[in-house]
Amino acid sequence: MLNTVKGMLIEYALSLPPLVLAFDFNPQSLTRSRTITLRTGSAPGTRGGYDFALPTETARVAQGVTVQPESFTIEILLDATDRMNDGDPIATQFGIEPELDTLRTMVEPKAQGPGGLQTLASLGLGGQRAFQRSESASVLLLVWGTHILPVFLTSIRVTEEAHLPSLVPYRARASLTMQVIEGNNPFYQVEKVRQVVGAALNTGRTVIGGIF
Q: Is the pLDDT of residue 110 over 90?
A: no
**When comparing pLDDT for 24 and 74, which is higher?**
74
70 pLDDT higher than 80? yes
The secondary structure of 141-181 as a DSSP string is: EEEETTEEEEEEEEEEEEEEEEE-TTS-EEEEEEEEEEEE-
Average pLDDT, the chain: 84
How many beta carbons lie within 10 A of that of residue 41, not counting itself? 12
The distance of Cα 185 from the centroid of its chain, to the nearest Å, equals: 15
Give the tens place of pLDDT for each residue, 26-52: 766 788 898 888 777 666 655 667 778
